[in-house]
A = this chain, B = another copy of it.
């Protein structure tokens, strides 16, 4: 590399982004330097603004510039329905469906004895408090269908049980548009078992 230390520093930081390696970081840096007014300066500004203004919602853990976040303060959303997700990305994915009109609880991960992630770190006691305080009627455990996700879901279900709230999980089955031939046996078994008329 030979474009000065400033360009090298920029490329090194860009290469830390998920999905960008050293090669695509160089391409991205050159692309931005060619589009200085339409991309480089606006992106520098957007990053600085995000660093200053975006915070996790103290109620649900979503990221927003206001606290409580836009979802938690939306009066049209049902506070008695809470969807528990692992990450903010999962919340965003569910929001894109426009199929859910309740609120969220972002864990920020899954329980892990190895990485020393306990219930406190995932705000699970706070979730139980919320369920009691807001007279929540249903908690949807929308965790990933991985071992870690399902272990965490079991733990939460066990500890929510005394509150009497209804606990549900997402349905397993064939993805819409999915081909049977490419599905794993577990998903196919679940789709068969939960078959509908």
A154 adjacent to chain B (CB < 8 Å): no
Which residue in B1, B13, B64 is a CB contact (below 8 Å) of A95?
B1
Q: Is the interface of A mostly helix, strand, loop or mixed?
A: helix
Q: With both chains docked as a complex, state the minimum distance between the C-beta of A195 and any C-beta of chain B, in angstroms.
A: 31
Interface string of A16-49 (1 = CB under 8 A from B): 1111100010111111110110011111111111
Give Cα A52 to B114, complex, Å.
45
- Contact (Cβ within 8 A) B6 A65: yes
A10 within 8 A of B: yes
- Chain B: which residue is nearest A21 at the CB level? B19
B62/A2 in contact, CB under 8 A:
yes
Quick check: A47 and B49 within 8 Å, CB to CB? no
- A147 sits at the interface (CB 8 A): no
Contact check, B46 vs A10: say whether CB atoms are below 8 A apart: yes
Looking at A84-92, A120-128, A132-140, A176-184, the stretch in contact with chain B turns out to be A84-92
Question: If A1-B92, A24-B18, A41-B51 touch, does A9 touch B64 (CB 8 Å cutoff)?
Answer: no
Are the C-beta atoms of A16 and B1 separated by less than 8 Å? no
Q: A4-B70, A26-B89 in contact; A33/B18 too (CB < 8 A)? A: no
A7, B54: Cβ atoms closer than 8 Å: yes
Interface presence of A53 (CB below 8 A) = yes
Looking across the interface, which residue of chain B has its beta carbon closest to that of A16? B39
A65 — which chain B residues lie within 8 A by C-beta?
4-7
Judged by a CB distance under 8 angstroms, whether A14 is at the interface is yes
Chain A contact residues, CB within 8 Å of chain B:
1-7, 9-10, 13-14, 16-20, 24, 26-33, 35-36, 39-51, 53-54, 62-66, 69-71, 87-89, 91-92, 95-96
For this complex, 18 residue pairs linking A to B, each with C-beta atoms less than 8 Å apart, are A2-B62, A2-B95, A3-B64, A3-B88, A4-B54, A5-B65, A7-B50, A7-B54, A7-B65, A10-B46, A16-B35, A17-B31, A19-B20, A26-B89, A30-B88, A33-B50, A33-B54, A45-B48
